[in-house]
């Protein structure tokens, strides 16, 4: 068992319903293709913790009035809304509603199949008046037909039973008791939609709604394929906020009613209601034409293709085997088909963070998608580039050059209401630039850079150039910004930020050399490029000579120590301690200097890495789920393999074990992506330098064999690590050889010729460091 | 003329009504005794910009929900409310309402008499139908009878006229169009009161109301003495939100109706409505018993006594002569009779800053009151001490020892909704401690310290001790706080803050030695005292050796320079630039390092002062009205007398010339206090060191003779500076001699023997520094 659920390499199974974990399981069983997201709510709708159906990019605006305002504060918030719910299939058994809270639940099993991309449910239930019934449902959100989700729902009679199935579309569902103390957010969530129109078809309906303030028009449609062993009748009805298709039949023992419900969604701010209605109707017709079986088959094919270039095999640690595959599946779901919209920090699995996208995506999710589902990464990057106009405007508002991408947003507009941990975290721009670079290096695709990437690189470089300045000795500084560690805000010369800025500046300069025409179009001069290189060259990286460590920002190692003992029962600290205290002491929320070492391994010597890691391990409380994976990678880098393995657990099990106690609000997609990063970059030692794949594999004692696949410049690479040796292969047919650097040795791999090297051990320079009291790695149970 | 009004040494006169400046004049003509405040609204109520009647301490609560909340954020805001308006006297002339906007205003003069403490108004008006009338009113808020205000209102007929005078009390007046964009504040201001009861008397009424959320009960009463050359009738009426006494008469040419309206206010959160009603009725009876003439006389006597120990004579600069007396008068009004309540940053002259008290009071106002109206200073300090419980609780919330006084408040509870420029400005605690010390030194009164001051010193010292820390070399630092300059927030080792902290720690240690019993009661140990002295001794004061100046905080002189040229038309900067940009650049809102030099003149050498002043003058934009006076004092100190004189103008004329464009919201009491500080500490060179008065007088070229008085340990000292010599006298009868240090020479002054010394010149070490473009001293016109 892992997190209370059975361990299985390819599925997540809940053998019996646990109403106490309803919300967490709604998130864990969420299905999504990146465009449509369905929480794992029960088919019959109730009980639920949070009913959730989401369509990427559909949100509502609400005012953000500040008790004390300030120039440049965003005035409007954005909240992802629960759209028209089409998952609903309400069953009446001899007029008694099927509800797991009543009657007797003989058995109730749910299973998410990671190879099929389907959520199965199997129920035996006895109604309060004693009538037994069997239900089987299978739900999918199609990776192939982007606008489509579908449910196969089968009712089987045990005794003669009158069965009434109500298949519904419901808009403006009552929101759950809102945990937001802000009445404006609550208002945005309550009745977000105005009905625009509704159309009945013979076996379905389409509802069209419009959000009140953001002015988005949404069409949701359903249609049904019905098979029944007995005669049945259909009724169809639609009102402003709901539509219902009712099927009535009388089943004898063993007889079944099989319904396939097709769902389609479409939205637009510009297209008309009739156009949207027709678009959805067309999607439904196409899906019915494809049919349930082919829809399932194509789902499997899509996933086979994905796993073929992404799968991880972990021998000796079945918990991680399951967790890493689950993690990767959810990472894929979050971004597979967003196509022109942002990926939220929680994908489409819940309303945590209001559905906003953060640096989580470019920093952690896209590097993984780049190596496993590159088209999804490209789509997400194209979305980001499409918001350049808003980012330029934001930079102007802030008195800066170039483009200032938002800290949190749905549509590209900054909506962060606390600027010290929002706008001031300018590293988001460099995170985005890095994601473009990783994509270019990993895929070999130069087109994205030509189309949009160059402009992003140039505009982010311009931002950095206007953010930083040279001191009287020529050193280049970035003052008053916030790095990844949100417990130390508005600092000078954050090492991570400065390295990222320099990297961004160099990448832009190099890109301009590669793309002279694009550079000219962007009015980049040679003087500008020279200034970028100058700044990058002169970047100041503070170092504490006395302690022999890098302060994560100027002065950090001189700050007072945090009293970890006293606060050991007050995690996460931000809920129990004022920012004021956190900011001025040596307490670190999440990998910051350690993240700098993860992303810039060549900027530190081995000794520096070991000492820095030792220093920050003792001071990092991991109140952010983004932290464990980077700590794991650097732990592996400095030879702390046990610790790396433990952090891998923490990153991978974040939601399966509900380690932050808030998985019910949605999954921690970046932490899940981080699990794959730990495997590949931590144990695989994968680095991208000068466009060549470097591997420096190690194997922790807890894993007997580790294998991972990834896509590199069109090829599929597999790396297999056993206790004895490392094998690098090219999978499938591939003309060209792939150059690799394994343990520092330049080699070529071809489909016919694998590279095999003996496994090397890595010794730690320092003993294993302790973590703050109360914050050892959460290995889960 | 000065600020469009005639220059007069003892009054402020508006010769003709200017409706375009209505709001500013409402503030300028505000009357207050520190308990009751009446804005200078016209007797007939309309037109007005902001109708305002305030009672010290009466406020309403409103929620402060944050778009992004945080631990320890204050949840409730406080807003001073406009209480029951008793100033209203509506006149009907042959049934036509007297309204300056209609008919013909033949003449309209108002004059605030600074010796009498009265506001006079004289009007000749012809009604729209052609009936001329003469009106004279005189208004006062009694310094002697704290609960009482009064208006003498005289109507004189020119032709036969039916005169109807409605004297009113009105609660829940419609607020002006609220400039707050926050709907919650607007809600708190609209109908803040619930009617509790009303009582009619024969010639008056009492209304009792209760605030909705803060639960304060307020009684407002009026009564009238009526004299009339003709027969008259009275009617009396009262409803829940208003009461009206109507006087009807028919006047023949030359006949007069004279009404004296007495107003009384009382409030409590604990006493019953009947008790409050009776309290107000008693105050009214007492006032009628005293009568108008004696009330006026006692007002004059009170002010004679005040001016006798406070007046400033300025020859050669009549604008300053008037402005400084006006300033001092308003400073007195703000605090004369608060007695147990806070003094707001705008006194009781307007709703700016929601009526909150800030460090303005302890930092600038109380040091002046200490030397001119010491009882008022003691009362304000006692109020502060009475809030120790709340300040202790706040410190606990913040994880600190001792007491954390609020940045802004009405009742002692922190209500600052932006912590980087609120809670983080911990210097407020040291400002308070310093005000207690200044009071003890200036008055020789040890009782206040024994009663409450010691506890304040001890608890603020404890706060500092828990705020600061020793680094590995033993230096003591205070990190992550905000000093006076709100354009540079959350900094390490702000010089001003560190010096203030050290001063606070030493003062507490010394006080504990003076008051061993009190120290024991406060559980102060000798170890604790030793720790305070250690920290104070080891306090870190950063210094930039290369530039030879003190950075106002760690790293400051390394920050990027602000582009003053580009922003020269964007003052005040906080309305046009993001905090983010301001914080990380070398732009200073208000005297910070310069204030440190003002308050700690001995902590800097003359050369350091000259260089520091030169450095910060070029970077200080004075977007705070608290700045000019300290810049003036230090300018005088470094021999920049012309500049000091210009800054004196800016400080003194802040409201008379509406230099910040917001005097309509209330007067800048601390800036007004600053005008006196410039005279006394800047030109008089007054310092308090070791309990002895030091004088180091200079005279700017623009002033031919300067004389000021102050109270020092029970005596009245007069210092007279002419171009030739300096004379120090004791006024009145005084047994003991007063030791003084004049130009470094220790002397004794007695009532019989003045000390006369030749005036010295002070040479500047450096040329006059420029100010940022667009920010030269505002001398007014």
CA B659 – CA B305 distance, rounded (Å):
31
Chain B residues whose beta carbon lies within 8 Å of the beta carbon of residue A181 = 65, 69
Residue A736's pLDDT is what?
Answer: 76
CB contact under 8 A, A418 and B183: no
Residues of A with catalytic roles: 486
Taken in order of first residue, the domains within chain B and their CATH numbers are 11-286 (2.70.98.40)
Is residue B683's pLDDT more than 70? Answer: yes
Structure tokens at B594: 């310069």
* Signed CA dihedral, A331, A336, A342, A346: sign only: negative
Q: Is A600 on the interface with B (CB under 8 A)?
A: no
Contacts (Cβ under 8 Å, ≥6 apart) of A525: none
CB contact under 8 A, A584 and B182: no
Is residue A140's pLDDT more than 70? Answer: yes
Compute the nearest-CA separation of A20 from chain B (Å): 28
CB contact under 8 A, A66 and B560: no
| pLDDT band of A689, cuts 50, 70, 90 | confident
Is residue B645's pLDDT more than 70? Answer: yes
Is residue B24's pLDDT more than 80? Answer: yes
Mean pLDDT score across all residues of chain A: 96
Structure tokens at A383: 């979305």
Alpha carbon dihedral A569, A575, A578, A580, in 10-degree steps, equals 100
Q: Is A581 on the interface with B (CB under 8 A)?
A: yes
Is residue B739's pLDDT more than 70? Answer: yes
CB contact under 8 A, A480 and B583: yes
Percent with pLDDT over 90 in chain B:
94
- What number is the average pLDDT over the span B108-116? 98
Shortest CA distance to B665 belongs to which of B59, B109, B30?
B30
**Phi-psi bin for B777: left (phi > 0), alpha (psi -120 to 50), beta?**
beta
Burial B370-386 (b: 16+ CB within 10 A, else e): bbbbbebbbbbbbbbbe
Compute the nearest-CA separation of A300 from chain B (Å): 42
CB B478 within 8 A of CB B497: yes
Residue A144's pLDDT is what?
Answer: 98
CA A476 – CA A469 distance, rounded (Å):
5
Three-state SS for B326?
helix
Percent with pLDDT over 90 in chain A:
94
Compute the nearest-CA separation of A583 from chain B (Å): 7
Q: CA-based angle B625:B626:B628, to the nearest 5?
A: 80
CA B602 – CA B301 distance, rounded (Å):
40
Q: Which among A417, A471, A577 has CB closest to B68?
A: A417
> How many alpha carbons fall within 13 Å on the CB side of residue A563?
10
B720 is known as an active-site residue: no
Q: CA-based angle A618:A622:A625, to the nearest 5?
A: 155
CB contact under 8 A, A580 and B477: no
Pairing state between β B59-63 and A148-157? unpaired
pLDDT single digits (tens) B152-163: 999 999 999 999
CA B17 – CA B9 distance, rounded (Å):
21
Three-state SS for A750?
coil
CA A205 – CA A281 distance, rounded (Å):
9
CA A382 – CA A405 distance, rounded (Å):
14
Shortest CA distance to B132 belongs to which of B105, B108, B110, B99?
B105
Compute the nearest-CA separation of B780 from chain A (Å): 28
Structure tokens at B264: 């009384």
Residue B174's pLDDT is what?
Answer: 86
Q: Is A469 on the interface with B (CB under 8 A)?
A: yes
CB contact under 8 A, A72 and B472: no
- Residue for token digits 């004390």? A68
Contacts (Cβ under 8 Å, ≥6 apart) of B615: B547, B549, B557
Q: Residues of B forming the annotated binding site?
A: 359-360, 589-590
Contacts (Cβ under 8 Å, ≥6 apart) of A619: A562, A586, A587, A588, A772
Three-state SS for A396?
helix
Q: Which among B66, B492, B574 has CB closest to A71?
A: B574
Chain B residues whose beta carbon lies within 8 Å of the beta carbon of residue A72 = 577-578, 580
Q: Indicate which of A61, A62, A65, A67 best probes the interface with B, i.e. most B CBs within 10 Å of its own CB.
A: A67
CA A342 – CA A358 distance, rounded (Å):
9
Q: Residues of B forming the annotated binding site for substrate?
A: 359-360, 589-590
Which residues, in sequence order, are bridge partners of residue B448? none
CB contact under 8 A, A492 and B555: yes
pLDDT single digits (tens) B607-622: 999 999 999 999 999 9
- What number is the average pLDDT over the span A80-86? 97
CA B225 – CA B152 distance, rounded (Å):
9
- CB burial of residue A300 (10 Å; 0-12, 13-18, 19+): middle
CB B710 within 8 A of CB B717: yes
CA A7 – CA B651 distance, rounded (Å):
75
Is residue B538's pLDDT more than 80? Answer: yes
Pairing state between β B104-113 and B96-97? unpaired
Residue B592's pLDDT is what?
Answer: 98
Q: Indicate which of B64, B71, B467, B572 best probes the interface with A, i.e. most A CBs within 10 Å of its own CB.
A: B71
CB A299 within 8 A of CB A232: no
- CA distance between the termini of chain A: 8
pLDDT single digits (tens) A288-306: 999 999 999 999 999 999 9
Compute the nearest-CA separation of B342 from chain A (Å): 22
Q: Is A491 on the interface with B (CB under 8 A)?
A: no
Q: Which residue in chain B is spatially nearest to A560 when comparing CA positions?
A: B469
Q: Which among B69, B418, B560 has CB closest to A68?
A: B418
**Phi-psi bin for B358: left (phi > 0), alpha (psi -120 to 50), beta?**
beta
> What ipTM was assigned to the predicted interfaces of this complex?
0.93
Which residues, in sequence order, are bridge partners of residue B257? B155, B228
Q: Which residue in chain B is spatially nearest to A563 when comparing CA positions?
A: B399
| pLDDT band of A688, cuts 50, 70, 90 | confident
Is residue A181's pLDDT more than 60? Answer: no
CB contact under 8 A, A71 and B577: yes
Q: Is B492 on the interface with A (CB under 8 A)?
A: yes
Structure tokens at B374: 């010491």
Residue A485's pLDDT is what?
Answer: 98
CA A133 – CA A122 distance, rounded (Å):
11
Residue B360's pLDDT is what?
Answer: 96
Shortest CA distance to A368 belongs to which of A396, A335, A399?
A335
Chain A residues whose beta carbon lies within 8 Å of the beta carbon of residue B472 = 546
Mean pLDDT score across all residues of chain B: 96
Is residue B180's pLDDT more than 60? Answer: no
> CA-CA distances (angstroms) from residue A271 to A59, A169, A277, A389, B653?
17, 22, 10, 22, 60
H-assigned helices in B575-640: 579-583, 593-599, 606-617, 627-637
Shortest CA distance to B121 belongs to which of B96, B83, B155?
B155
CA A580 – CA B471 distance, rounded (Å):
19
The CA-based diameter of chain B, rounded to the nearest angstrom, is: 90
pLDDT single digits (tens) A572-622: 999 999 999 999 999 999 999 999 999 999 999 999 999 999 999 999 999
In this prediction the pTM is 0.95
Q: Indicate which of A584, A586, A615 best probes the interface with B, i.e. most B CBs within 10 Å of its own CB.
A: A584
H-assigned helices in A72-155: none
Chain B residues whose beta carbon lies within 8 Å of the beta carbon of residue A477 = 558, 560
- What number is the average pLDDT over the span A43-58? 97
> CA-CA distances (angstroms) from residue B508 to B458, B687, B692?
5, 20, 19
The CA radius of gyration of chain A, in Å to the nearest whole number, is: 27
Is residue A136's pLDDT more than 60? Answer: yes
CB contact under 8 A, A578 and B181: no
Of B180 and A769, the structure prediction assigns the larger pLDDT to: A769
Q: Indicate which of A185, A358, A480 best probes the interface with B, i.e. most B CBs within 10 Å of its own CB.
A: A480
Three-state SS for B267?
strand
Q: Indicate which of A64, A69, A71, A398 best probes the interface with B, i.e. most B CBs within 10 Å of its own CB.
A: A71
CB contact under 8 A, B490 and A492: no
Q: Which of B486, B528, B617, B720 is catalytic?
A: B486
Asked if the peptide bond before residue A47 counts as cis, ω within 30 degrees of 0, the response is yes
Structure tokens at A92: 């009446």
Q: Which among A181, A554, A575 has CB closest to B555?
A: A554
B530 φ/ψ angles, rounded to the nearest 5 degrees: -60, -40
Q: Is B450 on the interface with A (CB under 8 A)?
A: no
Is residue A179's pLDDT more than 60? Answer: no
Q: Which helix (H) or strand (E) holds A526?
A: helix A526-537
Residue A201's pLDDT is what?
Answer: 86
Write out A347-381 in H/E/C secondary structure.
Answer: CCCCCHHHHCECHHHHHHHHHHHHHHCHHHHHHHH
Which residues, in sequence order, are bridge partners of residue B124? B107, B134
CB contact under 8 A, B416 and A480: no
Chain B residues whose beta carbon lies within 8 Å of the beta carbon of residue A544 = none
Structure tokens at B700: 């700017």
Residue A185's pLDDT is what?
Answer: 64
Residue B202's pLDDT is what?
Answer: 86
- Tell me which DSSP letter residue A724 carries: S
CB B510 within 8 A of CB B456: no
CB contact under 8 A, B397 and A579: no
Three-state SS for A265?
strand
CB A366 within 8 A of CB A381: yes
Residue B732's pLDDT is what?
Answer: 82
pLDDT single digits (tens) A403-447: 999 999 999 999 999 999 999 999 999 999 999 999 999 999 999
* B325 Cα distance to chain centroid: 14
A199 φ/ψ angles, rounded to the nearest 5 degrees: -130, 130
Asked if the peptide bond before residue B649 counts as cis, ω within 30 degrees of 0, the response is no
Transcribe A393-406 into DSSP letters. HHHHHTT-SS----
Contacts (Cβ under 8 Å, ≥6 apart) of A222: A86, A167, A169, A204, A205, A243, A245, A261, A262, A263, A264, A284
- Residue for token digits 């016209």? B42
Structure tokens at A110: 């749910």
Residue A690's pLDDT is what?
Answer: 80
CA A157 – CA A132 distance, rounded (Å):
7
Indicate the angle between helix axes A374-386 and A318-335, nearest 10 degrees. Answer: 40
Q: Is B572 on the interface with A (CB under 8 A)?
A: no
CB contact under 8 A, B584 and A480: yes
Q: Is A565 on the interface with B (CB under 8 A)?
A: no
pLDDT single digits (tens) B543-560: 999 999 999 999 999 999
Chain A residues whose beta carbon lies within 8 Å of the beta carbon of residue B489 = 490
Residue pairs between chains A and B whose CB atoms are closer than 8 Å: 137
Of B616 and B751, the structure prediction assigns the larger pLDDT to: B616
- What number is the average pLDDT over the span A168-184? 77
Three-state SS for A394?
helix
CB contact under 8 A, A65 and B181: yes
Is residue B680's pLDDT more than 90? Answer: yes
CB A364 within 8 A of CB A353: no
CA B193 – CA A410 distance, rounded (Å):
43
């Amino acid at each position: 068992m892992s997190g209370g659920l059975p361990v299985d390499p390819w599925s997540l199974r809940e053998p019996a319903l646990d109403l106490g974990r309803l919300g967490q399981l709604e998130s864990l069983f969420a299905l999504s293709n990146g465009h449509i997201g369905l929480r794992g709510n029960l088919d019959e709708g109730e009980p639920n913790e949070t009913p959730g159906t989401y369509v990427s990019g559909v949100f509502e605006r609400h005012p953000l009035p500040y008790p004390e305002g300030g120039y440049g504060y965003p005035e409007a918030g954005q909240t992802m809304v629960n759209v028209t719910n089409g998952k609903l299939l309400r069953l009446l058994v001899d007029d008694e509603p099927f509800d797991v809270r009543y009657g007797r639940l003989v058995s109730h099993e749910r299973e998410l199949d990671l190879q099929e991309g389907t959520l199965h449910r199997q129920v035996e239930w006895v109604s309060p008046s004693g009538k037994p019934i069997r239900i089987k449902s299978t739900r999918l959100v199609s990776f192939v037909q982007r606008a489509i989700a579908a449910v196969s729902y089968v009712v089987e009679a045990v005794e003669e039973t009158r069965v009434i199935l109500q298949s519904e579309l419901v808009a403006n569902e009552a929101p759950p008791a809102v945990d937001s103390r802000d009445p404006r957010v609550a208002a945005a969530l309550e009745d977000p939609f105005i009905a625009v129109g509704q159309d009945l078809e013979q076996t379905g309906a389409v509802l069209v709604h419009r959000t009140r303030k953001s002015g988005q028009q949404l069409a949701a449609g359903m249609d049904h394929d019905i098979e029944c062993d007995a005669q049945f009748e259909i009724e169809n009805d639609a009102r402003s906020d709901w539509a219902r298709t009712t099927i009535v039949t009388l089943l004898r023992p063993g007889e079944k009613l099989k319904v396939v419900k097709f769902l389609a969604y479409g939205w637009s701010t510009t297209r008309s209601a009739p156009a949207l209605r027709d678009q959805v109707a067309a999607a439904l017709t196409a899906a019915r034409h494809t049919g349930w079986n082919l829809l399932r088959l194509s789902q499997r094919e899509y996933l086979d293709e994905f796993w073929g270039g992404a799968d991880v095999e972990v021998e000796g640690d079945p918990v991680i085997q399951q967790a890493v595959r689950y993690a990767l599946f959810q990472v894929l779901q979050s971004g597979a088909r967003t196509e022109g919209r942002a990926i939220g920090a929680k994908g489409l699995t819940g309303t945590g963070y209001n559905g906003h996208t953060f640096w989580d995506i470019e920093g952690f999710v896209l590097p993984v998608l780049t190596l496993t589902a590159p088209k999804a990464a490209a789509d997400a990057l194209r979305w980001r580039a499409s918001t350049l106009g808003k980012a330029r405007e934001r930079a102007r508002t802030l008195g800066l050059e170039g483009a200032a991408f938002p800290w949190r947003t749905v549509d590209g507009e900054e909506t962060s209401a606390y600027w010290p941990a929002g706008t001031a975290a300018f590293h988001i721009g460099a995170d985005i630039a890095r994601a473009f670079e990783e994509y270019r290096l990993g895929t070999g695709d130069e087109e994205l850079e030509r189309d949009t990437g160059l402009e992003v690189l140039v505009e982010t470089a311009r931002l950095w150039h206007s953010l930083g300045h040279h001191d009287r000795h020529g050193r280049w500084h970035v003052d008053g910004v916030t790095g990844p560690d949100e417990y130390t805000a508005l600092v000078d010369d954050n090492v991570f930020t400065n390295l990222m800025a320099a990297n961004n500046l160099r990448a832009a300069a190099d890109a301009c050399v590669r793309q002279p025409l694009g550079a000219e179009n962007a009015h980049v001069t040679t003087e500008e490029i020279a200034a970028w290189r100058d700044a990058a060259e002169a970047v100041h990286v503070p170092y504490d000579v006395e302690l022999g460590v890098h302060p994560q920002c100027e002065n950090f190692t001189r700050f007072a120590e945090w009293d970890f003992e006293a606060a050991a029962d007050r995690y996460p600290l931000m809920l129990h301690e004022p920012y004021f205290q956190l900011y001025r002491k040596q307490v670190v929320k999440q990998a910051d200097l350690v993240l700098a070492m993860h992303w810039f391994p060549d900027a530190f010597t081995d000794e520096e890495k070991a000492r820095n890691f030792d220093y920050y391990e003792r001071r990092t409380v991991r109140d952010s789920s983004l932290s464990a994976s980077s700590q794991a990678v650097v732990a592996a880098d400095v030879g702390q393999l046990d610790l790396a393995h433990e952090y891998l657990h923490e990153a991978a099990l974040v939601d399966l074990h509900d380690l932050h106690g808030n998985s019910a609000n949605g999954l921690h997609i970046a932490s899940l992506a981080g699990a794959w990063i730990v495997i590949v970059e931590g144990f695989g030692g994968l680095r991208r330098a000068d466009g060549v794949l470097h591997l420096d594999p190690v194997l922790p004692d807890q894993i007997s064999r580790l294998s991972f696949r990834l896509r590199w410049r069109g090829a599929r690479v597999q790396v297999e690590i056993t206790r004895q040796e490392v094998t690098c292969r090219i999978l499938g047919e591939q003309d060209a050889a792939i150059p690799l650097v394994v343990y520092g040795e330049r080699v070529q791999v071809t489909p016919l010729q694998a590279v095999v090297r003996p496994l090397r051990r890595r010794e730690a320079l320092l003993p294993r460091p302790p973590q703050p009291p109360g914050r050892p790695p959460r290995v889960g149970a």
